[in-house]
Homo-oligomer: A and B are copies of this chain.
Amino acid sequence: MADVIDILKEYSAIVVKSIEENLGTIEPQGLQDASIYLTKAGGKMLRPALTLIVADAVGGNKEDAVKTAAAIELIHTFSLIHDDIMDDDDMRRGKPSVHKVWDEPTAILAGDTLFSKAFEMIISSKDEGADSSRVANALATVADACVKICEGQASDMSFEGNFDVKEDEYSKMIFKKTGALIAAATKAGAIMGGADQEVIDAMYDYGRLIGQAFQIQDDYLDVVSDEEALGKPIGSDIAKGKMTLMVVKALAESEGEDKDRLLEILKDTESTQDDVDEAIDLFNKYGSIEYAHNLALTNVAEAKEILEILDDSDSKQLLISLADFVLYRSS
């Protein structure tokens, strides 16, 4: 895992440089500062790294994909800034969120600016010699993901307090909200790397599968990890009543007293650690933790199988390691 993390850091440096060059012209200075702030807060930069690694793995030129990769990170950051306003989240990446450091109008505008800059950056790849039909395809891929992100966030908000959500509705929402951009990142990498349509579609599926596994694993770690590794109390998602695949599954499988008790704990805004532990026991009783974990395992296995379409290379190996990394990280 150490290797993967080191390599992600290398890619991250390339992306950060490109972002800083492109955001450095924003004026007035206050808007520039608010726009850049979160990109400097040390995210994993998994999405842009995937774009660059896939571009290389399909036999293309990584350089052609740098601006697209950076743009995808800007789209991700834009959505975090706006989500934090909508969900009134005070903290992000261990720092106060943009609308807390500045104010809501500035945060709305910083998000809009990153969004605009993202499209500007992808288009400007063309001026640096990238093929214009590839650029148009990458743009279409990213724009499609942006629509899905908005739709996913709207569904997520509409689900609030509604614990009758079915597994397929939940999966669709979570794919749009978080998986679509990861799938766009890998697909755009394949497009900018000049892959043929079959490989482009395969890379989309690879991204979609590891994206879903990543999301499930996030939720899974919240209930099975230890507090020290996680950096927050076990089951904090349950205490907050957050909808996860495990919750959806446990509610679908349970009945009577068990279901009532689970709903009670999820709806209670002042759940104790005992309540949370009881909910985790109910998850186990109805097999929902195992179900989610197995789905993540299956996704990762399937994602790695998809990679067989690629010729062997260091970047292909890295994509295999990244699929595993999604599953075996501890936080």
The answer for the CA separation of A30 and B119 in the assembled complex, in Å, is 27
**A169 smallest CB distance to B (angstroms):** 10
Contact between B119 and A139, CB atoms less than 8 A apart: yes
The distance in angstroms between the C-alpha atoms of A28 and B177, with both chains bound, is 13
Mask for A98-141, Cβ within 8 A of B = 1, else 0? 00000011101101110111011001101000001101100110
Of all chain B residues, the one with the shortest Cβ separation from A154 is: B31
A3-11, A143-151, A248-256 - interface stretch: A143-151
Q: Quick check: A112 and B109 within 8 Å, CB to CB?
A: no
Determine whether the beta carbon of A154 is less than 8 Å from that of B82: no
Does A165 lie at the interface of the complex (its beta carbon under 8 Å from any beta carbon of B)?
no
Q: Are B105 and A26 in contact (CB under 8 A)?
A: no
A197 contacts chain B at the CB level, 8 A cutoff:
no
Q: Which residue of B lies closest to A158 (CB)?
A: B28
The verdict on A27 contacting B133 (CB below 8 Å), with A115-B112, A140-B120, A143-B119 known, is: no
Closest Cβ of chain B to A108, distance in Å, is 6
Chain A: residues with Cβ within 8 Å of the partner, total of 43
Complex: A317 Cα to B97 Cα, angstroms? 52
A223 within 8 Å of B (CB atoms): no
Q: How far is the CB of A181 from chain B (nearest CB, A)?
A: 12
* Most B Cβ at <10 Å: residue of A105, A144, A153: A105
Bound Cα distance A135, B126 (Å): 12
Further pairs besides A28-B155, A31-B150, A115-B146: 5, Cβ < 8 Å: A26-B151, A115-B115, A119-B119, A120-B146, A132-B136
The 15 sampled A-B contact pairs (Cβ below 8 Å) are A26-B147, A28-B155, A85-B108, A86-B104, A86-B108, A104-B104, A109-B157, A113-B151, A116-B143, A117-B147, A120-B140, A120-B143, A123-B136, A123-B140, A124-B140
